[in-house]
Amino acid sequence: MSSISRIGMLGLGEVGVRLVEDLLQHTQAEILVWDKQFAHPESKPIAHLKSLAGHPRVIAVEAAPLLGQACLVLSAVTAQQAIDAAEAVLPGLQYNAWFVDFNSVSPITKQTLARMVAEKSGRFVEAAVMSPIDPQRIASPILLAGPNAETFLAVGHQLGFSGMTFCSSEYGKAAATKMCRSVMIKGMEALVTESMLAAKYYGVEDAVLKSLNNLFPCPDWSEHARYLISRSLLHGVRRAEEMREVTETVRDAGIDPWMSAACVERQDWAPQFNSALNEKELSAMLTSIRQQIESQGVAPC
């Protein structure tokens, strides 16, 4: 059983709410939660907070610094908000408290966050979630990096983070692994979206999928393509933010991030067609998107 009696959850989005739900199952800790979107009654974080209503160990705090009452703060916001969210909490951070950052940001951003936390005498741990949060949730594979990472690993396992592994004592290594992976994963989503929508226009989507299977064998390419496209439709805005961090990561490595920059645009473009998520088959999903492009005059980016 973990000795941590109070945990601060910074961000109650898709990742944050799942971590809170699972931490309630794995620990007896009190969980303080705060999200800047709590100010907006119709926001998803408010909906998530309502889903946790009535649980005696979940407490929504009125201001971010109050999360600092916890000896462990977990940050799971969007990439764009990672530094601002940390700045909001740090004035109240306890001496020697853990601050674990799960956000999909560049190595330089992680290093910046580490300095900010160290200036408040906290212990920063860089964390990189290496899969979608579902279905494994708190057991998802998570890389830890930084001078405090190896020490925190045992704490994380006690809290239920069974997929956590030590990556490096150097800040930035976990983030670099995540960012370089995202070049491929988010890039594939963008490429498949572009390929399939064009193929649908020409009536050759089945032939394209069959050809793909020759090079990249997959039990059901149609189902896989629908899944990849659906990720952009559902999470494109957040993915675009992450890919902006990816472009910085690639640029810092001395490579012009042409592909990653284009992926930002496609991911940012996709969510306007999220009504197509109602279609369970690839062909119908593509038809829905194309109809919206053609009938509503949506610029096809």
> Where are the CATH 1.10.1040.10 domain residues in the chain?
179-296
Residues of the chain with pLDDT under 50: 1
- Token representation of residue 27: 């620990």
pLDDT value, residue 298 = 55
User: Domain 179-296 is classified in which CATH homologous superfamily?
Assistant: N-(1-d-carboxylethyl)-l-norvaline Dehydrogenase; domain 2 (1.10.1040.10)
Write the CA distances from 142 to 11, 15, 26, integer angstroms: 18, 13, 17
pLDDT value, residue 1 = 41
HSE-CB of 83 using CA atoms within 13 angstroms: 13
> Where are the CATH 3.40.50.720 domain residues in the chain?
6-171
Q: What is the pLDDT of residues 206-227, one digit of tens each?
A: 999 999 999 999 999 999 999 9
Q: What is the pLDDT of residues 169-183, one digit of tens each?
A: 999 999 999 999 999
pLDDT value, residue 95 = 97
Q: Look up the CATH number of domain 6-171.
A: 3.40.50.720
Q: Structure pTM?
A: 0.92
pLDDT value, residue 296 = 74
Do 58 and 79 meet the contact criterion of CB atoms below 8 Å apart?
no
pLDDT value, residue 295 = 85
Write the CA distances from 173 to 154, 238, 298, integer angstroms: 20, 22, 40
pLDDT value, residue 299 = 54
